[in-house]
Each structure stands twice: as structure tokens, then as C-alpha cells.
């Protein structure tokens, strides 16, 4: 890659948009060349348009960049979409039709029959679906919901080694998952909210596509049952999930820990800049994984698992933690773009 | 009850001990006449011995009361035990042997074959076991672990109406459940700790005794499977639990809501001062129950349930909330003593 | 008062409006007969219009009450205004002109030359200004900003005993002071925001009117300097203020503690339902007052003070705590109405 | 520096000790060669002795290192002391007498007449006092209390430009300042504790030495008045301070901002690895500095200041933020050692 690929960010002023900017700053493959946002921000320079609340300073190079409307014509090859689902569907489609590579974090196109719902370590083969996408040169690739990401990363090695029969998951999800302004402090201080709109449905549906196959031109979903209960807890970043699984084959807790630790990304030896050295870190301490201590492991791209132990109802239970705005949103999307660049799909 | 029953508090300076004092202040049945604590506090007046951190002022009448050692000889008929499990077993036994009614919040005697593990709304018949207790006039009665209390209160009406086959529960438990000083703030601020020592074992074991029967001089445990996963969240008071149940008989979500709402305490028309008017409050809002909003319902003695809905793996799932230091500890113990007084066991 | 006074609440669905409803439920003087809100809510019953988030259940009697527009014609004598300052000025004026007693928590009319800025314990004589108000039978009375209330309650006894020369105050203010939805959780979790719009100005201005006099038909402001710095901290309720004072006369720390403890409300022997038995509670412990432990003292109507000690720059420093939505908002306004009823101004 | 200097850590298992290890990992000057702790830990390998709670993984190289007692004989030239004040005084003295360079974070030796209380950007000349220290080759150098560090960094440019007459400071301090386990969560969740033992005294005393001079073999304290009020807030890291200053010379807010922004470290062009590029960052936004957003600026070594504005009582007021365990503890101590190495005092 002698020259960097031009990247635009759609929804650049919001929380996921800011995270995209933070993570794409000094990226070896991509260079931010365009920032898209709503009418309220368009026309302003980024520094004035965005209420920056990342914990690293706003990169110098975007400060004076002019924010534009989210319309084809933006000077970029790849459009990272941090758009809200209420508008993402239409806009992303227009960008794909206009020949852009759309790397979307929005839910709108995830279930379409020619759109990969991609986690590079798990289902890079789903990129084959791009060949049949309706957009010509332009493409849409999506990453899963933030709470799905940790879930499927933990399930993949188990599916491969033992087969999956049923998955019961109860989440304790971070505030940043709701965007900004998101959850009012009066609602969540000294409290838990046992409901997140649409989240349980996504967690019960998305893993079946991700852990399924793309064969003969179509996606074949995995077949196992999922029950998800989603809760919001007063944690800034990091979704923690209490998972119970029923396996198709007999296994011991040691077997499970072994396959989790041995997990290798499905993309093999490819060196992707944002890919964690180890996608899954297993912790033997009895009180791990904890969000505040482990969410930033490998820059927030690794998933932490602990407490594999028998479940009296299904077979085994454990906890999985992943960083919801990095691994589960902007970082995951960037990794999707990286594998597409490495495989010369984006060029 | 023309004259109040003399009540002592064992472990009076700790967090549960303070809650006992708060709840027994101006109690219609009981009068605090003795305060027991460790050697460090014995000999001091209570005001100096206790680091009071209840949110109501320390009752005037205990301020100048002398703290004594936890040894038989205390001037009381009933001894409410807020002792730590590391010492509760032996001390409570001595008090029972000396003829005291020991109402214990500790775990030590809960599983003994002649000791009721009592929740008055659920298993008042278990008090029959007292007739065969080894202590003569003295008696030991226990209440369950704080996280078990909400769990069994939700399960009882389901067991009665439909039978229980399996119960999967994931908890989000409050800080006050760990006592004082308990959880260091650096461990739990902006964090969740997915482990509470011994808690999962208690939640998998205690409900079987509570929801079982006392017949022909022995306890017959209920027979269903329980899987519990326990987490500590940054909430001051109120344990929230995500429960999934498999029932023996077919039921609809409406059926379940109906039996929860119709639940009547097993002690019938008895008027007990601390008993909530309705033990179970069902909330139809899609984001309830929430700890901060509902933990103090009916003085913290009622249990809140919401979100009954189908579970893809077991049959139904829902959330239950109860106040862990009131309903799940001191308040529950006092209710135990109240039913014993009302039934003339304590007199 | 043989019959209750009809009370309406303007802005009934917001956070202060809800607190008014909670505190006026079963009030001995007032009966809620009208609920006013914006066009979005008008026409709905209250239960459907309000996102109730008080920690006590919504009173039965308001659940089915129809919400109306905030326009004269509401069936009430007293209109408690919880309106936002952006609209309060005009609406309150219309109600006063129409003959209502407007008891306002909004800032709009506070500095007017014929409007009392009233704290009954401090300046009940300011009610004399009502005689010259322009509205005829209707009247407007205001209570101060939530952070001013604790401040002036602490300053009044010092002013009376020693005279005030300068007051330096740094606040740590609760989330509920910002209303609902108010402060986004992502802004305040694990954080402090060292700015609250307009707050420092109010704290530097309002005390001078409150602690001033109403003589010969006009308000004469107190004359001392105030410097205020306002911070938002992650606390649900209760504003804590670190105050340093320079006095006109020499005093010792003991003198100050003595006059704080001896403080008696300026309204004398009047028995007002919401008035605390002691407006100021002084705490000798070295780590008090703390918001979570003391904010609800006397139903949230008393002010807590502690740590009076010498200041190396001004004379003395101490901490004062008051409940911002009770004493500093709805409760304070209700107390204002109570003294007006007790003095037959409202009748 | 062809070869790295051997560094030991006294009190290596505690929170500041862990931060030393984190910051010294891969340090260009120093190499960790010894770990000292109490009898409880001595003899174990570090991995087993320490309850690691940093948010970066434990460095590989210390995991298997044997923890030893804190006694001279440890294989190192520099001993970084993270010892508790209850024992630090004596142990540090023994190490100095045995010829070690003791870089201490403890308070014990701070006020001694031959011991520098060092902040390299401010008073590097105080290192001259080492020549007259009683310990021969061994030396003791201390860094200030965590809350003093931000305070003096903000005051230094003002002192140089305008002279200081009086400083009034109210702190909002983070939990990590209390060490581990430190503040119980039940004490600080949804709360502020307006007291930190010994802290106000340190903040009123230490700046006078730091901002004073070392002339003719003795420390001459700066002469201005300081009043400090210290509060603990529910924030993990980052001490925020509301400061008011009275200056000797007239200045405008713009003047003050200008000198803050222009501040250059007193150690001139020396390149020290841990020194921030800019010791002071000034923020023009009206709601900065905020702990969660800015505490990690320049690796936690820079100080953030904002909201310079007139004070009605003193001359100006502003807010200053610094990372209490990095800049205010381990990082500050390491910077002290770096300047000593760069100036060939440590060699």
C-alpha cells in the first residue's frame, strides 16, 4: 500500500464518529479526507461542529477540516458510517450506489442477503457475498451490534470445537453504548436499567448469521437457540456478558478453556493493523473479566473471558467482556476495512 | 401484646446491625434492650462504638446504651443476629442453648435439619420444625441470603401455579450486600465485579429448602435445577436479578403476570407490622424494575417484578428486585420474629 | 383552615413538578386540583403524560387527572410554578394578573422590586412587598436558586450575630439540580464538571437581596462580597458547599457553632407543616455533612453544617449541605406558600 | 547513559508501587531490579504477592521477580519509595544511610532542612541541598503530596509574573489518592466526603517550601497565605482544584492565561523522558478541565487549567486538574529521579 486510502466518516460528530477519528488518526492504511454530518454541523470546521469528548486530544489534522453533508461527492474511497439507524439505511445505499466502499456500524443493512455481517476473526469468507452485491463497484459491509461482538467471539471457538445447541446471555452494558447524550445521569446513577430497546432482538439474531456460512451464493444461518436479556449498568465503557451454553458434544471446563485460549483468527496469517495479537484472552482469576480493568486490552480490540464453570441447566457458563465502542463499533468497522484492503477488495 | 418483647442485637455495630436498630426503633412488638458486639466495642456506649452510616439519625434511645459482649446473659428474650458467619455459628448456638430466641441473618444454621429457613409469606409451616429443635426453650430461626429472598418470592407463585423445572438467574447485586467496609471504591467505580464469594452456591441451594416442605418431622427439598451467576454492580442498595424459568405446566406470559399479581402471603390474614401490603408488585413499564426507583417500595419489604416475556431456551424470563438489607436481611429477620410473636412462639 | 386551598402545578411533568406532586400529596393546607404542562402533554392524563421518576409511587389522585395548558383558567387558587425559565416569566405574570397566587421556583421575577425572594426562616418580612405588587389580588413570590438556599441559611445566623464582610463559596452540586434529562451520564460518570451555566451569578447576587431588608417600600440589599465557583459532581441529590466567611466582628469557632445551633426561624412560633423542627443541624464529626447521609434530614427541609474551622485567608470556613430539589426547590416553594396561608395572605 | 540504572521499588505491591512498576516498565534510564514489600509478601514472586489492579497488564519481567523485605541490601542504586508514612521515615533513612538514592513519595522527610521537596519544572535548584545532606553518598529526595502538585504547578507562573499574596483552594479529589483498599464504596457512591485526614495541612504548608528558595545552604519559604479545603469525590483518578488567588501585582485575566500558557520548566532544555512537552495546558472551553477527559494528558504528566476569571474577593479564580497517581505520585517521583540522573547526581 504505497499510498493511503482516502477515508470519509459519516456521522463524524457523534460518539462513534469521534471514536473513528481517534482510531484512524495515523492509521497505516487510511487517511481521513472527509467528514460528513447533519445540516446542523455542515459548513462548520470540525473543531466547532463537534463537542469532542474522547479522552485523547482532537487530532490536529481534523480540527480545521470542513464538515460536509453526508452525500455522495465526499472526497474519499471508503466511507465509515457512524450514522444513526434512523437515517443510515438510505444514505449508505446512496454511497454504495455511487461507488464508495461503505463500512457501516449501523444496523440497517445487516440482515440483507448480499451484505456481510463481518467479524474478520470469525467469518471473513462472508466477504464472498460482495461479488453479488447490487451496487457495482460500491459495496456495503456491516459489523454487528456492540453487544453481539463479544458474544460471537466467545461462541466461535466453542461452535468449531463442540457445536452449539443453546446460548443464554444476560448483559451488563456500558453507557457509551447508548451514544451521546444517551442515558441521562439521573436514570443510571446508583441504578441499573433492565432494558435496552432492540438489543435483545439483535443479540438473538445476529450471531446466527455471523456464525453461519456463505455457500452457493447465499447465507446459511447457524442453527441454535439464543435467549438474551440486556441491562444497562453505570459503567463508562465495556460490555460484560454472563453466558451459559449448551454444547452439541460433551466437553469439560478444561476443554473449553483450552479452545478459547487456542483460538486463532480465521483470516490466518494476514497482518492487520488493528487486529489484536490474541483475539481472546482467558483469565484464571476468579473475579475476572472486569470492565474497568480489561476493556482496553490490546487497544480495546481483544475480548476477555473468565470463570468457565459448569451450569446446572445448560452445560457451561462464563463471562465475556469487550470494549463496546472500540471492538464493538469503530474499531471493529476499521478492522473490517483493513481486511478488505489487505485482500485488495478496497483498493 | 401488652408489653413489648425485649430484643437484643448481636453484631450491633455492623451494617446489618445498624439496619436492625433503624427498623426496630419504635417497633410495636419489640424493644431494644441489649446491644452485643466484639471486644473492640464492648464497654463503650453505642454512639462511640458505632460508625453510624444509616441515612436516618441514630435513635436517641440507643445512643447511650452500653455495648456488651455477645454472650448469653444479655437482657433480652429475642436475639437478632447480624453476626458474621465466621463467628455466628457458635455464638447463636450458645444463645439458643441458654433459652433465647435467636433470629439469625447468618448462613451457619440455615441447612440444619431442625432449623427453619424462613420467609413468612412462603413457608410459615416450616416453623413446625421448632418443636423438635434440640435447644429446649431456646430456638434458632434463619432467613435466607439477601439475593435468595427476591428469587424465592418470585418463584413461589410460579411453583404453586405451574410447577418449576429449572431456574436460571443472573444477579446484579448492590454494594451494601457486602457489608462495611465491604467493596473498595476503587474496585467498583465504573466497573462490575463478576464474582461474589459463596453467593452462587447459596442461590442454588437455599430456594430448594425454602420452597420445599416440612412433613413428618423433616424437610423435603423442592426438586428443580438452579443455575446462578452473581455480579456486583455500583448500586448502593437493591439486588436486581434476571431470571429465566422452565415450568412444569404450560402457561402464557399473561398467566404468569396474573399469578404474580395475585400472590397472597401463606400466613393468611395475620397482621404483621413489617409485612408489605402486597409482597409482590408487578410493573408493566418496559424498563422496570430499577433498583434506585423501587427498592424502597413498602419500606423496602415488597419485591418488584417486571418484563415477563418468553425465553427462547427456558420458558419465560423476567426481572426481580428486592432491597437486600431490608427485605433480604434485617427486615426479613424482623418479619420472622413478628410471625413467631403473632403465633405465640415467642412470648 | 377548614377547607383545603386549591393548588395547581405549572410544569407538572418535569422533575421539580413531580417533586411538587410528591410533597403536596396529603398536604394539610393544599389540595392538588390542576396540573399544567406544555402542549405535548396537555390533554393526556397525568399517568400517561409524565415519565415519573420519583422514588415514591405516583399518588393515586393525580394518575387520572387531566393535564392542561399553563393558562389562566386552571381551577386553583395557588399556582406552584416549576416552569423552565425560558417560559416562566410570561406565564407567571399572566397568572398573577388573573388573580392567582404564583409561588415560583423560576428565576425570572426574583430580582423585581416588588417581588419577595423568600426563605421563610430568614426574611418573612419581605412579604410586605406584596402590598405594593402590581397584580392586584394576584401575587408572585419566588424562592431562591437551589444552591443559594443552603448558602443563605448558613449565612443568616452569622450575619445577625457578627455581620458579614465577604463570602467565598465553592459548590459540589447534585445531578438533580439540572432537571431531567439534564446531565448526560457520559459527561459525569467518574467525573466532575466545573461549570454550571448562570449558577455562579445567582449565588453572588441572590443572597444580597434575601439577607437585605424591605424598608419604606423597597428592598435594600445586604452589602458584602460574594465569590462563587460552581461544580457538578456525580451525586443524585444534595448540594454541598465549601464556604469561607469574613466577619465584621471578631468571633471564635465556638461562637459560630453556637449561633448556628441556636438559630431560630424568623417566623417565630408559627407552626408550618413543611418547616423543619431545626432549620440548621450542626455536626461535630470531622467528616460531615455528607450528601447521601444527611440530605433527607427532616424530610429534606433541614440544612446540615459541619467543620467550622479557621480560614487562613478569610476568618472561618465550613461546609453546608441542603437538599436541592426539596429545600432548594419544591419544598422551599411549598414552605413559602404555607407561611402565606398561615398569615392569611393566601386565603 | 549506556547502561540502565538499577531501580528498586519499596512498597511494590500497593497502589503507588504498582504505578511505579507500570511507569518504569521499558524506561530508558531505569531498570527494575528489586521489589520490596512487607513480611506478608516477602518471599513470594510478585505475581502472587500483588493484587494487580492497574489497567495495563502486569509487565512480564516483574511477574516472577521475588519480593524481598524493605531492607538495605536490595540490588539497586535507586530506591523508589511508595511506602506508607507509618513506616517510610525509618526505612528510607536506612536506605539513604546505606548509600541508596531514595526517591520518596512519602511525606516523612518532606520538611527536613536538607531534603528537597522537588518538582523539577519548579524548583530544580533545591537539589543543591543534597550536597549538605547527612547521608554521604546516599540521598533522599521527596515529591509533594498528590493534591499539592497541581496547585504549585499553577501557582509557579503566577508567582514569577505577579507575585502571590494569598491562595484559597477547595479540592475535589479522586479515590485513588487514598490508596487501596482506601475509601469504602458505601462511603462514596452517590456522595462526597468533605474531609481528608492531614490533606489540608499539607496543601497549606508544602507549596511554601516548593515555591521558596534554597539559598546559602538553607530553604527560605515563600511567604503567602494558603487556605485549603479538601473533599473526596467519586472519581477514580484526577484531582480537581478550585483556586482563588490574590496577586501582588495588578494583572488581567488575559495576562494570567498568557503566563500560564507560556510557562516553561525551570530545568530548561534538558530532555527528561517523563516530562510533558507542555507542563501546563490551558483550556478555553467554559467547562474544563474535567478529570475523566483530561487526566491522562501527556501520559498523565501535564496539568490542565481552565476558567481563569475574576474573583469578587481575591483577584482571580480558576480550576486546575492533575493526575494524582501519575503526576502527583509515581510519575512525579520518576521525573525527580530522571532530572537527578540527567544532572549526574544519580550515576
Contacts of B190 in chain C (CB under 8 A): 189-190
Report whether C321 contacts C240 (CB < 8 A).
Answer: yes
Inform me whether the C-beta atom of residue A295 falls under 8 Å from chain B C-beta atoms: no
Q: In terms of CA atoms, which chain D residue is nearest residue A293?
A: D55
Contacts of C56 in chain B (CB under 8 A): 296
Report whether B224 contacts B165 (CB < 8 A).
Answer: yes
- How many whole angstroms separate alpha carbon A81 and alpha carbon C92? 47
Q: Please state, rounded to an integer, the average pLDDT across all residues of chain D.
A: 97
Q: In terms of CA atoms, which chain A residue is nearest residue D53?
A: A293
Backbone angles phi, psi at D259, to 5 degrees: -70, -30
Give residues 60 to 99 of A whose Cβ lies within 8 Å of C: none
Contacts of D234 in chain B (CB under 8 A): 185, 189
Q: How many contacts, defined by CB atoms under 8 Å, are there between B and C?
A: 21
Q: From C24, C122, C130, select the one nearest C80 (Cα to Cα).
A: C24
Q: From C315, C194, C225, select the one nearest D168 (Cα to Cα).
A: C315
DSSP H or E stretch at residue D232: strand D225-232
Torsion (CA) B36, B40, B45, B47 in degrees, nearest 10? -100
In tens, the pLDDT along D147-197 reads 999 999 999 999 999 999 999 999 999 999 999 999 999 999 999 999 999
- Determine which one of C109, C126, C168, C239 is catalytic: C239
- Enumerate residue ranges in chain C where pLDDT < 70: 1-2
**Most distant CA atoms of chain C, gap in Å:** 60
Helical H runs in C106-198?
146-162, 185-188
- Enumerate residue ranges in chain B where pLDDT < 70: 1-2
Q: Which CATH superfamily is domain D146-323 in?
A: Dihydrodipicolinate Reductase; domain 2 (3.30.360.10)
Compare CB distances from C190 to D167, D191, D236 and report the shortest one's residue: D236
Which pLDDT value is given to residue A347?
84
CA distances from D234 to C39, C203, C232, D14, D181 (A): 39, 25, 12, 20, 14
Which pLDDT value is given to residue D347?
84
Q: Give the three-class secondary structure for D60.
A: helix
Enter the CATH code of domain C5-145+330-342. Answer: 3.40.50.720
Q: Which residues does C77 contact at the CB level (< 8 Å), separation at least 6?
A: C5, C6, C7, C100, C101, C346
Active-site residue, C146 included: yes
Which pLDDT value is given to residue D262?
98
Inform me whether the C-beta atom of residue C296 falls under 8 Å from chain B C-beta atoms: yes
Report whether C78 contacts C101 (CB < 8 A).
Answer: yes
Inform me whether the C-beta atom of residue D55 falls under 8 Å from chain B C-beta atoms: no
Beta bridge partners of residue A142, listed in sequence order: A104, A117
Nearest Cα of chain D lies from the Cα of B75 at a distance, in angstroms, of 32
How do strand C101-104 and strand B78-81 relate by DSSP bridges? Answer: unpaired
Active-site residue, D146 included: yes
Torsion (CA) D322, D323, D326, D330 in degrees, nearest 10? 70
Nearest Cα of chain B lies from the Cα of A86 at a distance, in angstroms, of 22
Compare CB distances from C227 to D231, D292, D312 and report the shortest one's residue: D312
Q: How many contacts, defined by CB atoms under 8 Å, are there between A and D?
A: 21
- Determine which one of D126, D146, D168, D281 is catalytic: D146
Q: In terms of CA atoms, which chain D residue is nearest residue B237?
A: D186
Q: From A66, A64, A23, select the one nearest A42 (Cα to Cα).
A: A66
How crowded is the C-beta side of A113, counted as CA atoms within 13 Å? 6
Helical H runs in B69-133?
85-97
Compare CB distances from A293 to D53, D292, D293 and report the shortest one's residue: D53
- Report which of residues D51 and D2 the model is more confident about: D51
Cell numbers describing residue D119: 518538582
Beginning with the edge strand found earlier in the chain, give each strand of the sheet holding B78-81 in spatial order. Answer: B67-69, B30-37, B5-10, B78-81, B101-104, B139-142
Distance of CA B144 to the CA centre of its chain: 5
Report whether B102 contacts B141 (CB < 8 A).
Answer: yes
CA distances from B308 to A52, B207, B300 (A): 40, 20, 22
Would the pLDDT of D2 be above 80? no
Compare CB distances from B55 to C53, C189, C293 and report the shortest one's residue: C293
Q: From C282, C341, C274, select the one nearest C301 (Cα to Cα).
A: C274
CB atoms within 10 A of CB A239: 31
Contacts of D53 in chain A (CB under 8 A): 293
Beta bridge partners of residue A214, listed in sequence order: A219
Burial classification of residue B25, based on how many CB atoms lie within 10 Å of its CB (0-12 exposed, 13-18 middle, 19 or more buried): middle
**Does D185 sit within 8 Å of B175, measured CB to CB?**
yes
In tens, the pLDDT along A166-188 reads 999 999 999 999 999 999 999 99
Q: Give the three-class secondary structure for A343.
A: coil
Which pLDDT value is given to residue C113?
96
In tens, the pLDDT along B73-98 reads 999 999 999 999 999 999 999 999 99
DSSP H or E stretch at residue D211: none
**Does D183 sit within 8 Å of B182, measured CB to CB?**
no
In this predicted complex, what is the ipTM?
A: 0.96
Nearest Cα of chain C lies from the Cα of D340 at a distance, in angstroms, of 35
- Span A323-341, mean pLDDT? 98
Compare CB distances from B293 to C55, C189, C296 and report the shortest one's residue: C55
Report whether C272 contacts C120 (CB < 8 A).
Answer: yes
Beta bridge partners of residue A225, listed in sequence order: A166
**Does D190 sit within 8 Å of A296, measured CB to CB?**
no
Inform me whether the C-beta atom of residue C269 falls under 8 Å from chain B C-beta atoms: no
Q: From D144, D337, D139, select the one nearest D228 (Cα to Cα).
A: D144
What single-letter DSSP state applies at residue D347? -
Q: From B102, B98, B81, select the one nearest B136 (Cα to Cα).
A: B98
Q: Give the three-class secondary structure for D274.
A: coil
Which pLDDT value is given to residue A2?
62
Inform me whether the C-beta atom of residue C319 falls under 8 Å from chain D C-beta atoms: yes
Cell numbers describing residue A347: 483498493
**Does A190 sit within 8 Å of D292, measured CB to CB?**
no
Chains touching D (at least 3 CB pairs under 8 A) are A, B, C
Sorted by where each begins, the domain ranges of chain C are 5-145+330-342, 146-323
CB atoms within 10 A of CB C296: 17
Would the pLDDT of D229 be above 80? yes
Would the pLDDT of D79 be above 80? yes
Beta bridge partners of residue D319, listed in sequence order: D242, D306
CA distances from D77 to D38, D93, D100, D109, D240 (A): 20, 15, 6, 19, 35
Which pLDDT value is given to residue A113?
96
Q: How many contacts, defined by CB atoms under 8 Å, are there between A and B?
A: 131
Backbone angles phi, psi at D55, to 5 degrees: -95, 5
Nearest Cα of chain D lies from the Cα of A280 at a distance, in angstroms, of 14
Q: From A46, C236, D264, D254, select the one nearest B235 (Cα to Cα).
A: C236
Cell numbers describing residue B18: 445498624
- Determine which one of C146, C230, C281, C323 is catalytic: C146
Residue pointed to by grid coordinates 459519516: A10
- How many whole angstroms separate alpha carbon C231 and alpha carbon C200? 10
Amino acid at each position: 500500500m504505497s499510498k493511503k486510502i482516502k477515508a470519509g466518516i459519516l456521522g463524524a460528530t457523534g460518539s462513534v464518529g469521534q471514536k473513528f477519528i481517534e482510531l484512524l488518526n495515523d492509521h497505516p492504511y487510511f487517511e481521513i479526507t472527509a467528514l460528513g454530518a447533519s445540516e446542523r454541523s455542515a459548513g462548520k470546521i470540525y473543531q466547532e461542529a463537534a463537542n469532542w469528548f474522547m479522552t485523547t486530544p482532537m487530532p490536529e489534522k481534523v480540527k480545521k477540516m470542513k464538515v460536509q453533508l453526508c452525500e455522495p461527492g465526499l472526497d474519499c474511497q471508503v466511507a465509515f458510517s457512524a450514522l444513526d439507524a434512523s437515517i443510515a439505511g438510505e444514505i449508505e445505499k446512496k454511497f454504495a450506489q455511487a461507488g464508495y466502499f461503505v463500512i457501516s456500524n449501523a444496523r440497517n443493512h445487516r440482515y440483507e442477503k448480499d451484505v456481510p455481517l463481518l467479524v474478520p476473526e470469525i467469518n471473513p469468507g462472508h466477504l464472498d457475498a460482495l461479488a453479488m452485491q447490487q451496487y457495482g463497484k460500491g459495496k456495503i459491509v456491516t459489523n454487528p451490534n456492540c453487544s453481539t461482538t463479544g458474544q460471537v467471539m466467545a461462541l466461535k471457538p466453542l461452535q468449531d470445537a463442540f457445536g452449539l445447541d443453546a446460548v443464554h446471555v444476560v448483559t451488563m452494558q456500558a453507557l457509551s453504548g447508548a451514544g451521546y447524550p444517551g442515558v441521562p445521569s439521573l436514570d443510571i446513577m446508583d441504578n441499573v436499567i433492565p432494558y435496552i430497546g432492540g438489543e435483545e432482538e439483535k443479540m438473538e439474531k445476529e450471531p446466527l448469521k455471523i456464525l453461519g456460512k456463505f455457500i452457493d451464493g447465499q447465507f446459511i444461518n447457524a442453527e441454535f437457540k439464543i435467549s438474551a436479556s440486556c441491562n444497562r449498568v453505570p459503567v463508562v465503557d465495556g460490555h460484560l456478558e454472563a453466558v451459559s451454553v449448551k454444547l452439541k458434544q460433551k466437553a469439560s471446563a478444561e476443554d473449553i478453556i483450552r479452545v478459547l485460549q487456542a483460538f486463532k483468527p480465521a483470516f490466518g496469517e494476514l497482518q492487520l493493523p488493528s487486529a489484536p495479537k490474541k483475539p481472546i484472552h482467558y483469565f484464571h482469576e476468579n473475579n475476572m473479566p472486569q470492565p474497568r480493568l480489561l476493556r482496553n486490552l490490546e487497544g480495546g480490540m481483544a475480548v476477555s473471558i473468565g470463570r468457565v464453570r459448569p451450569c446446572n441447566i445448560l452445560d457451561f457458563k462464563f463471562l465475556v467482556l469487550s470494549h463496546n465502542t472500540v471492538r464493538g463499533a469503530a474499531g471493529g468497522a476499521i478492522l473490517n476495512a483493513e481486511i478488505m484492503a489487505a485482500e485488495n477488495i478496497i483498493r
